[in-house]
A and B are shown apart, each in its own frame.
Chain A
Amino acid sequence: MPLDALEVIVEAGLAMLTSGAEVARVEDTMARLANAYHIAPVDVVAMPTALFVAGPDGQSLVKRIQHRSVNLAVVAEINQISRDVAKNPVPLAEFRQRLEAARQLAVYPPWATIVFAAIAAGLISQLMGGHLVDVLPAAVSGALTQMTRRGISHTQIPANLGDMMAAVVATLPALFLARFGEFQPGAILVGGIMVLTPGLLFTTAVRDGIAGDLVSAVSRLLEALLIGGSVAAGASLTLYIYLNMGGRWP
């Protein structure tokens, strides 16, 4: 029985970690859950790429994390479940059920995220020196970027290459409109690309750093830099070809 409970707790921690929660929060949540199910002593080591749990009687579980994404809904939901369970320990089966539901949780459907990406890109182009005419092209760019990223995330293509391809797509509306004087192609391009910014990774890296989880802080900073690098590479690739073909760019 204890191994059973331990496994469910590890599942909860794993789901939080793959959705982008801070290491301290993952360890905290798992300790809280272990406490609720009277598993003691439990020691948890969480990293962005691996999760180690040492339970009682020398039982231990090691999980490798291959896929990471951004889903704050999952983090918030499992955090809530762990608080509920700590107050009122429900049977393990029921907890497993709630966990399964939380792991699949997506508050908004896929088509809606494309609309949100479009709105976000259109709005942020206004903060990046764009004028009102740039809202629509930037929105198109954001929508295309999100569509590309979603499409690629279901394939076997490595995540960094996918970000690069999404950045290539993001530049297209700006490149088509650069020849007309009334648009600010820079604002359009940045609007589309901002959809890809690793904001969560950066924030989590900072918070991990303060909490003293140095391995996690460094690896998340590296991941954010790699994503930023691939996005910049993708965007400069198309821009380079365009400029060398004699295209106009303000």
Chain B
Amino acid sequence: MITQSLFAGLTTIAFGFLYQVRASLLWISGVIGAIAWAASMAVHLMPGAGLLGDFAGAFVVGSLAELAALWKKKPVTIFVVPAIISFVPGYLVYESMVAFLKNNFNAGLHFGLTAVFAAAALGLGLALATALLRPLLRPHHFLNVR
């Protein structure tokens, strides 16, 4: 689990470099990616967790990124985008693709739909984190308007 989190953190950093994020900010993304991966794996230990792990991971990424953005006064996307990449259900899409190519339509649909739901879980996690934390962290944006 620790090795996997380490790999997730390093992956985050590598993708951050690919998206032209500055190294001085990138270590934060790396830490966020590693913590989120660990949280997601911890949720996965629960029996019947299913896609809850992806949701938890995305929620952790979103929340920590909001905090980091407030701390460093930088756009949130800089921290979210590299960290969320490790959660993208690429392997599910690939398995669905191979199943379809081998005329195994049931398995293909199963993996494909799981991938879609995993992506939806990621989106929901990110959305909830932003929706909950923004009003708490930046109350001046939400009070005194109009």
Contact = CB atoms under 8 A, between A and B. Distances in A.
Interface of A: 20-22, 25, 70-76, 79-80, 83, 105-108, 112-113, 116-117, 119-120, 123-124, 126-129, 146, 186-187, 189-190, 193-195, 197, 199-200, 202-207, 209-210, 228, 232, 235-236, 239-240, 243, 249
Contact of B73 (A83, A112, A203, A209): A83
Given A75-B75, A120-B14, A236-B100, A106 B20 contact: yes
A239 B94 CA distance: 11
10 contacts: A20-B77, A21-B75, A71-B19, A79-B74, A112-B17, A186-B95, A199-B85, A199-B88, A200-B19, A206-B126
Given A76-B21, A116-B17, A190-B90, 8 more contacts: A72-B75, A75-B78, A106-B20, A128-B91, A193-B94, A202-B119, A207-B77, A207-B126
Contact of A203 (B4, B7, B84): B84
A199 B84 contact: yes
Given A127-B4, A210-B131, A108 B90 contact: no
Nearest to B18: A116
Interface residues of B, number: 45
| Dominant secondary structure of chain A at its interface with chain B | helix
B123 A124 contact: no
